Structure 1
Amino acid sequence: MQMRTTVSLVSIALAGVLLTACADSAAEEPGAASGEVDTSAPLYDSLPKDVKDAEELVVVGDAHPPYRTVESDGEVTGIDPDMWAVLGAELGVPVRMEVSQSMPSMLTGMQSGRWQAWNGPVQANPEREKAFDAITWLQTRTSYVFPEGSEVKEGEGAPCGKSIAIVGGSITESEVDKLNKWCAEQGEPANKRSDYADTNATLLAVKSGRADLAGMTETAALDVTGADDSYGYVTQTDEQGSGVSLLALLTPKDSGLGKTLYQAFQNIFENGEYEKVLKKWGLEPVAVEEPLINPTTKREPA
């Protein structure tokens, strides 16, 4: 499997890739789609003053296929750039993305004002909703990718007694803990977990034999196995402590963007752009019927 390149801090103007990322709709969009402010966009008037003054929205993401893949030439491709393309058309400002390498740095960077949003994948939970408005737009289960020749077989639940590489701080961390509790109840050995910076690193750990499995969202597992048939995956079952998790975009509560971004998601659900992006990436199985905001606390943005 050819691994993609991860860089520590790459700035990319998404407006420059809108025509290729979202050719069906963005090619005809005025203003933001061409890298310019569009004051006639549906939600431009509701943007905070600092975003209007800056004439752009600065967002962050990590290298996490299929959400974001940093190609060898520095271009960022994936669901996230495509989703920001259609959201940007609703907002009326170009979206500029910077790529960071860890969840802690992205959370603190947003709180310090360096970045204004992060499109995950991150689980909505009460702790995060204290500091951020969380807008859910995908659902997923935890899955475990294994290489060809593994003792693990597709169609079975997640295994016990294996070494699992995960992205540190991700939703998979708590899911492995739940799996290990189930393993203990069955009299089976626990899995050993190792933390890595990003999904590429977890797959390298599996490829090199340092780990038996790479734990990730089902969305990511679909991407990995779709791109390389030498990998398969199994999904953690309800019996094994897993459930459907809602994945969210986060924006700081004090940014003033929560309501506006939520409305932007509602708009792209209604106009069909959300469905188009997920269909392009073959991710219809993890779509949700509607976006939700702060679903675990039911708190409305200020």
Structure 2
Amino acid sequence: MARFSLKPGVTAALAATTLLVLAACSDPGAAAAPASGPATSAAGVKQFNLSPEQNREAAAVDPAAAALVPEAIKKDGKLTVAVSPFAAPLAVYATDNKTPVGNEVDIAVALAQTLGLEADIVPTAWADWPLGVESGKYEAVLSNVTVTEERKLKFDFASYRDDKLGFYTKSDSSISKVESAPDVAGKRVIVGSGTNQESILLRWDEENKKNGLPAVEFQYYDDDSASSLALQSGRADLTFGPNATAAFKAASDAKTKLVGLVDGGWPLKASIAATTKKGNGFAAAAQAGLNHLIEDGSYAKILDRWGLSAEAVPKSELNPAGLPKK
């Protein structure tokens, strides 16, 4: 049975990459699980397991997928996977402040197990993973990496989640849905400057103004506390950012609710994928392993455990269409 190990020696400099793990989509409205899923209190607050003891269910080996693993990777029996543990529920340090836990870690461990390997999880600054993969230091990256056509020039991908952005409002708000541009007309929306979500919101705002609808009031905050205070005090109507972290926060404190999901590359679909070195053959093994996890139900359990079921994919795709070059 595959084992899970962790490489020590992470420097304090990694903390500066906290927001970059979100693949250039900052989350102005979100803060940073027992194996069967998070427990829910009477108040609707879910308790996620952030302890080092994750009690994961072992994934079964898929011989067909394991046979696709390149010899250069399987020879030491390990799969070295880079993660950036700075954004729950994707990846974050556990309560011992040294063990990475979260959805990306669980997917990496399960993928390694289904390929008959041991997951060697390496905490990595977001800015360092590309060079690490190219040099062979990391055999895969599971760190909320969005597939783009530019990245496909250097890396291969096996998708495992949809890239989703979420509109959230306070839990007692009368706002019930945000599906298209008219739904944000005249609203006060918190969004991250220079992000994909800001670009989408700007296009929606322009569409509204052309149609004679009220303009969006864009609000920008430097930290999550100020953003949360603005929303809860009624100074803002909505936040718009990466769904994963906002969903975790909403489940953890029940103070906000999801009212709309938008593809991260709107109007195009965007995929989150396991990232590997171009042409080394491992992406095909990763795709087969991920599809095995999807088929046997392990994948759904992992996403449910971390509150990410809304981002599930029906199957892993090898080098899916990426967002175009800007």
- Tell me, yes or no, whether TM beats 0.5: yes
Q: Contact 1:145–1:234 (CA<8 Å) still a contact in 2?
A: yes
Mapped partners of 1:284, 1:176: distance in 2: 25
Corresponding residue number in structure 2 for 1:228 = 253
SS of equivalent to 1:134: strand
- Structure 1 pair 245–208 and aligned structure 2 pair: CA distance change class (3 A): same
- The answer as to 2:88 corresponding to 1:68 is no
- Single out whichever of 256-265 and 276-285 deviates more from structure 2: 276-285
Render the CA deviation track for 1:102-143: whole Å, top value 9, x for unaligned. Answer: 3x3222322232222122323222222221112112224311
- Structure 1 pair 237–119 and aligned structure 2 pair: CA distance change class (3 A): closer
Corresponding residue number in structure 2 for 1:14 = none
Corresponding residue number in structure 2 for 1:278 = 303
SS of equivalent to 1:255: coil
SS of equivalent to 1:249: strand
- Structure 1 pair 277–131 and aligned structure 2 pair: CA distance change class (3 A): same
Q: Contact 2:107–2:302 (CA<8 Å) still a contact in 1?
A: yes
**CA offset at residue 98 of structure 1?**
1.8
Corresponding residue number in structure 1 for 2:197 = 175
Corresponding residue number in structure 2 for 1:78 = 102
Mapped partners of 2:240, 2:94: distance in 1: 22
Corresponding residue number in structure 1 for 2:19 = none
> Aligned runs of 1:135-284 on 2, under 5 Å?
135-145=158-168, 153-156=175-178, 157-158=183-184, 162-165=189-192, 173-187=195-209, 188=215, 191=218, 203-204=224-225, 206-207=227-228, 215-235=240-260, 242=267, 244-284=269-309
- Structure 1 pair 43–186 and aligned structure 2 pair: CA distance change class (3 A): closer
Please report the TM-score for the alignment, with normalisation by the length of structure 2: 0.65
Q: Contact 2:189–2:239 (CA<8 Å) still a contact in 1?
A: no
**CA offset at residue 257 of structure 1?**
1.0
CA RMSD of aligned residues (A): 3.8
Mapped partners of 1:107, 1:137: distance in 2: 19
Mapped partners of 2:289, 2:94: distance in 1: 28
Q: Contact 1:137–1:247 (CA<8 Å) still a contact in 2?
A: yes
- Structure 1 pair 234–246 and aligned structure 2 pair: CA distance change class (3 A): same
Mapped partners of 2:217, 2:206: distance in 1: 7
Mapped partners of 1:271, 1:118: distance in 2: 23
SS of equivalent to 1:294: coil
Mapped partners of 1:241, 1:45: distance in 2: 37
Aligned residue among 123, 138, 144 for 1:115: 138
Q: What letter corresponds to residue 113 of structure 2 in structure 1?
A: A
Mapped partners of 1:222, 1:290: distance in 2: 22
SS of equivalent to 2:254: coil
Render the CA deviation track for 1:36-66: whole Å, top value 9, x for unaligned. Answer: xxxx955444323332344311111222221
- Single out whichever of 44-53 and 120-129 deviates more from structure 2: 44-53
Mapped partners of 1:290, 1:180: distance in 2: 32
Q: What letter corresponds to residue 101 of structure 2 in structure 1?
A: T
**CA offset at residue 227 of structure 1?**
0.7
Please report the TM-score for the alignment, with normalisation by the length of structure 1: 0.70
Mapped partners of 2:191, 2:174: distance in 1: 12
Mapped partners of 1:295, 1:69: distance in 2: 27
- The answer as to 2:56 corresponding to 1:22 is yes
- The answer as to 2:135 corresponding to 1:101 is no
- Structure 1 pair 237–271 and aligned structure 2 pair: CA distance change class (3 A): closer
Q: Which runs of 5+ in 2 are unaligned?
A: 1-10, 16-50, 210-214
Q: Which runs of 5+ in 1 are unaligned?
A: 1-5, 11-16, 31-39, 197-201, 298-302
- Structure 1 pair 50–190 and aligned structure 2 pair: CA distance change class (3 A): farther
Identity %: 19
- Structure 1 pair 205–126 and aligned structure 2 pair: CA distance change class (3 A): farther
SS of equivalent to 2:90: coil
Higher relative CO (CA 8 A, sep ≥ 6), structure 1 or 2? Answer: 2
